[in-house]
Structures are given as structure tokens and as C-alpha cells.
Amino acid sequence: MSELSLATIREHVVGWDKQVPLATGGTRRYVYLDNAASTPALAPVRDKVNELVGWYSSIHRGTGFKSAVATHAYERAREVILDFVGAGDGDYTAVFTCNTTEAVNRLACSMAYPEDAVVLVSPLEHHSNDLPWRRYAELKYLPVSAGGAVDLAATRKLVEGLSGRLALMAVSGASNVTGQVYPIHELAKIAHANGVRILADGAQLAPHMPIQMEPGEPGAHLDYVVIAGHKMYAPYGGAALIGRKDAFSSCGPACRGGGTVKLVTRGEVVWADMPGLLEAGTPNVVGAVAMAAAAKALLAIGFDAIRRHELELTKRLLDGVHAVPGVTIYGSPDTTAPEGRLGVVSFNLEGIPHPLVAAVLAFEGGIGVRNGCFCTQPYVFELLSLTGENLTRKTGEMLAGDRRRIPGMVRASLGIYNDEEDVSHFLAELARLAEKGPRLEYTQDEATGAFLPTGYAHDTAGYFTL
């Protein structure tokens, strides 16, 4: 296998050349455009995991040689992740978790909150950076424009008005719906000027752009960041909550049990220091090492090269989708300036329900996209202008078990290994669908809302069995 680089990336992506069956007959190479949900594994990550498995053992308290090797691997992974987000100067620590949802929840349930606490989030947050805070505080939302851009002046005024109540500003680095990149360091300046800490959800950002927790500008540092391995080519169940040590100083244990203590007697508990305080139980050593291997691979390829490649594809994707008759693109309508967004395009096709568009692309084109609300229902409902009786009726149907008219969109999202051929095939299939409709007849399932070709059955067991 050749040296890892952007030019050779495809041969380093596990399964990129898989042939999948088409309901119209035959097979074709799968075109995966759902990278915003989860990415495939990089071969160097898989290989490093396979190397580790031979040495896998209990960590930290084991006395055998394998335990020493596994402990070294786990703690070295922590150092790599800190370096990956520009936090390797000793002022930060990293807590390993299963995913970013768990990472945000661990922080949320371990923090101290002021009376009548408020957490400030953006309107575009994934449910994972919205729902955890509702348990402990009132949510307020950053003021944004119709295109999704943050109004920094209005944000400054809002933060100043919440003096004494604002527990945290928690914002995504980038939207998983529109690809909008948020000015997290400018928001950090506003937060810190008012004595407030900031969490940046970097799950969408990490595989596409560099994250710098310490950018070198006064007040622009990030107090906490969360990232996920499964979105950065390491789908082995690893994620991390990275934070300043002083920002963790008032935290209590998020989950109580093994590894979180220094001492336990029948009448006393002395809690462990960070990061052990938030790493209860036996950790996912394999997931941590996989994510660290992915981080090293991304740095080896170089974010300058990654960004250039993805910007070129994003412009091609945006221009192509925009040119399809009957398409509505959500978020910023500007297709000439993709610099402020990631390669994520969410859209609807007039006259064809979003689950049918996704089904036709899959069954007739061998293309994997996503449809629905992408775990950002409030934002998607807002983008779709669903309010009042219309929203009540649609959500009422959904809650009653009928998901045939569930609101949503179709989303195509790029990874580093996608190329012009992938984008061209997707655009050709989308344009053909817009012009001529589906090739096959489809039946919609009431309970799921999904469309399947009438009389066609997936033979998934023929491809993988357990």
C-alpha cells in the first residue's frame, strides 16, 4: 500500500470500493455521501487496532506486561488527542468516552450551576448539545440571521444581559444540516469577557478543519471541546471531552464506580483527580487508540490539503444541486463562496418526499445519503418554516405512529476520499429523478416512513452474517 496522502487516500479507506446490488438489476460501486453521520475506517486505523488487540489487557492497575503495554497505548492516545486539538501544553486534559453524546452529558452532569442557570446554545445544535443542558438549566439561543450566520453584536448584548445566570456557552463548530462553520473563537472572546466558559462541539468540524483550543489570541481559547472517532475515520466507539484543567476543577463525578476514586471506606469516599474522575469503569482502550491513530493520519495528510480538496468538491456539489429544477437548498444560498461551510448540502426536491428521494438514490443509484431531521429537529422545523397548526398536525401524526408525512430533508455530505466521480454520479441521478421520476414503483411503510421498491427485498444476510 502506498504512503498515506490525499492523492492515495482511496486505497487507504476500508470498503470504499464495495459493490452493492441495485433494485433495477446488477451492481455498482457504492457512493457514500453520508459522512456527516459517520465515516468509514481508514486502513491505518484498522491496522493499528489489529496490532493493539494482540496486546489488549486491563489497564492502569494490572501488573502484567500486557497491562503495561495497553496502559501505555491508552495514555499515549490521550496525548495524541490533546495535540490534535492544539491543547498539548499541559493546561488541558482529555476524558475518553464512547461518543460525543456521552461526552456532553458527562460534562453537563458534573458541572456546578448558578441559581436560575442559563446555558446559551445556537439554534442549529444537534440534540446531543441541546438536550443534556435542559436537565440543569434554561436554554437560550444565539441570535442568527436567516442564512445561519451569528450576530456577534447581538450575542454580546445577550451575554451581558445574562450576567450571573449564564453557566456556559455551548455551540457547534459546524452545522450537520447546512455545513455552516461557526466563529467559535469570536464567541469565546465574548464568553470570556463576561466570565463565562465555552464548549465547542467539534464532532462535525474535526475531520475537515483544524481545531485549536489555544489559538494564541487573548480570550479566544476554548474551555471544552468534544470530538468523535466515528466522524473522523475511526468507527470503533471512541470519543473525547477535552478541557482546561482549571475548567474541570469544580466538577464532580459524572458516573460513580471503578476508577473514579482514590479511596473508599464504609464511611468515606475520596474522589480521583481528572481525568479519572470522569472515566468510570473499564475504558474503551481500542476506541481511544483508534481515534488517536485517525488523528495522526489526518495530521499526516494535512488539513490544508484536505480543506482545498473538500472546498473544490463542495462548490461542485452546491452548483450541481442548485442547478436541478425544483430543488430548495437550506442554509446559506450562496453557491459561489463555500469557504464558510463544510461539504454538507441539505435540500428538498419539489413534488417528491424526502424519504423517496433518498430511497431512489439508494436502490436505483447505489448512493448513500441521509434523510430526515438529522437529530436537529428544532432547526430543521425552523428551516422548513413549520409553525403553528402545520407543525402540530405533522408532529401529531408522527407521535401517533404514522411517519409517512414526517418533516425533513435530504442530506449529502462529503469526506476526504470522495471525488468528482462520486459527485457527478450523485448529481446525474438527482437530475434524472427530478426530470423523470423513479424508475421503479415504491411502497411506503407507515411506521417508519421509508420507501422500498415494491416486491424487492434486501439480501443483507448474503453480504454479512454474525
Q: Domain map of the chain by residue range?
A: 9-40+302-462, 55-300
Closest CA to 104 of 62, 134, 144: 134
Q: What is the pLDDT of residues 101-157, one digit of tens each?
A: 999 999 999 999 999 999 999 999 999 999 999 999 999 999 988 777 899 999 999
Output the pLDDT for position 61.
Answer: 83
109 is catalytic: no
Distance between CA 168 and CA 187 in Å, rounded? 12
Burial 205-217 (b: 16+ CB within 10 A, else e): bbbbbbbbbbeee
Instruction: Supply angle C-alpha 402, 404, 408, rounded to 5.
Output: 115
Angle between helices 184-193 and 152-161 (to 10 degrees): 30
Give phi and psi for 273, each to the nearest 5.
-80, 170
Calculate the average pLDDT of the chain: 95
Q: Would you say 234 and 95 are in contact if contact means Cβ atoms under 8 Å apart?
A: no
Pick from 351, 349, 360: nearest CA to 439: 360
Q: Does pLDDT of 335 surpass 90? A: no
Q: Model confidence over 31-65: pLDDT tens digits?
A: 999 999 999 999 999 999 999 999 999 999 888 99
182-237: pLDDT as tens digits: 999 999 999 999 999 999 999 999 999 999 999 999 999 999 999 999 999 999 99
What is the pLDDT confidence band of residue 442, given thresholds at 50, 70 and 90? very high
pLDDT score recorded for residue 336: 65
* Pairing outcome for strands 367-368 and 31-32: parallel
Cβ atoms 210, 86 nearer than 8 A: yes
The beta strands (E) that lie in 230-332 are given as 239-244, 261-264, 269-271, 327-329
Asked if residue 333 has pLDDT above 70, the reply is no
Q: What kind of fold does domain 55-300 have according to CATH?
A: Aspartate Aminotransferase; domain 2 (3.40.640)
Total-model pTM: 0.95
C-beta separation of 254 from 278 below 8 A: yes
pLDDT score of 340: 86
Q: Among 3.40.50.450, 3.20.20.70, 3.90.1150.10, 2.40.50.140, what is the CATH number of 9-40+302-462?
A: 3.90.1150.10
Which residue spans within 92-156 are E strands per DSSP? 92-97, 118-121, 138-141
| pLDDT band, very low/low/confident/very high, at 337 (cuts 50, 70, 90) | low
Distances (CA, A) of 131 to 125, 126, 139, 255, 287: 10, 9, 9, 18, 25
Backbone torsion region of residue 455, taken as left when φ is above 0, otherwise alpha when ψ lies between -120 and 50, otherwise beta? left
> How far is the C-alpha of 276 from the C-alpha of 288, rounded, in Å?
15
pLDDT at 459: 86
* Lowest-pLDDT choice from 58-67, 158-167, 415-424, 434-443: 58-67
Query: Distance between alpha carbon 69 and the CA centroid of its chain, in Å?
Result: 31
